[in-house]
């Protein structure tokens, strides 16, 4: 006896069920994938921030434990001027360490121009506007201040260093309003989940507070943004 080989296609209802399942999976998986990719990019940038911290610590070791605070006798007014002192001391020689692709602070620049100036002119062309992504906290002393205080961070919003934006096209929004990279005085480099108010918070005296606030021990006026491309 021959057995009949019955073949039939999917019914419309079965196809609709499959499509619905795929759609539900996509709703759950795609946002998670996006978050993971953003976090991976932030972790890659964090490695550069940690290298900058190492150079800052070397600077402080040869400067009575004081991190860069002056530029040719004048108190630094922006993060670029602070990091420029690393070039002056010969601790850094590549501007690429300070450049993070797609950062809004860079404007239309595809990368640093490689012109640092000379020792004689104080490397004044190093880290010109738009060539630095990283914010900086001036006035810190390595053997005096709490090792958990932040010293390096992603450049923040135009008005508030140490606070970020959900808009990836404006300063402070480079990680999509999800994460912020910080490095503490003691060298702890982290990709931090942002709080709902777009700040990074840690506990102080049992309370969760902004790490760039006086409650945490920071001086908000000492937090400096990079210079935007002109």
112: CB partners within 8 A, 6+ apart: 95, 96, 98, 99, 127, 131
Residue ranges making up the domain that contains 220: 12-224
Q: Region 48-70: what's the mean pLDDT?
A: 96
- What pLDDT digit, counting tens, does each position of 135-189 carry? 999 999 999 999 999 999 999 999 999 999 999 899 999 898 899 999 999 999 9
Q: pTM of this prediction?
A: 0.85
- What pLDDT digit, counting tens, does each position of 210-222 carry? 999 999 999 999 9
- What pLDDT digit, counting tens, does each position of 9-45 carry? 667 776 777 777 776 665 555 455 566 677 888 999 9
6 in a structural domain = no
125 in a structural domain = yes
User: Could you give the number of structural domains in the chain?
Assistant: 1
Task: Give strand ranges (E) for the chain.
Answer: 70-71, 74-75, 134-137, 150-154, 179-184, 189-193, 201-204, 207-210, 223-224
163 in a structural domain = yes
161 in a structural domain = yes
177 in a structural domain = yes
229 in a structural domain = no
Q: Which two tokens stand for residue 223?
A: 């937090």
């Amino acid at each position: 006896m021959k057995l009949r080989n019955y073949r039939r296609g999917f019914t419309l209802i079965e196809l609709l069920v499959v499509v619905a399942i795929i759609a539900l999976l996509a709703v759950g998986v795609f946002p998670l994938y996006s978050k993971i990719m953003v976090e991976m990019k932030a972790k890659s940038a964090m490695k550069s921030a940690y290298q900058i911290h190492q150079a800052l610590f070397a600077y402080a070791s040869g400067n009575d434990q004081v991190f860069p605070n002056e530029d040719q006798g004048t108190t630094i007014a922006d993060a670029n001027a602070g990091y420029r002192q690393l070039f002056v001391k010969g601790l850094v020689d590549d501007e690429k360490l300070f450049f993070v692709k797609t950062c809004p602070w860079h404007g239309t620049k595809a990368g640093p121009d490689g012109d640092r100036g000379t020792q004689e002119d104080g490397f004044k062309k190093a880290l010109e506007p738009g060539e630095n992504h990283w914010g900086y906290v001036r006035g810190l002393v390595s053997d005096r201040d709490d090792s958990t205080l932040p010293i390096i961070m992603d450049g923040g919003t135009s008005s508030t260093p140490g606070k970020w934006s959900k808009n990836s096209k404006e300063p402070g929004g480079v990680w999509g309003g999800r994460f912020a990279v910080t490095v503490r005085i003691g060298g702890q480099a982290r990709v931090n989940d942002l709080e709902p108010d777009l700040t990074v918070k840690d506990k102080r005296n049992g309370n969760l507070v902004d790490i760039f606030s006086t409650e945490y021990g920071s001086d908000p006026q000492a937090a400096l943004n990079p210079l935007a491309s002109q």
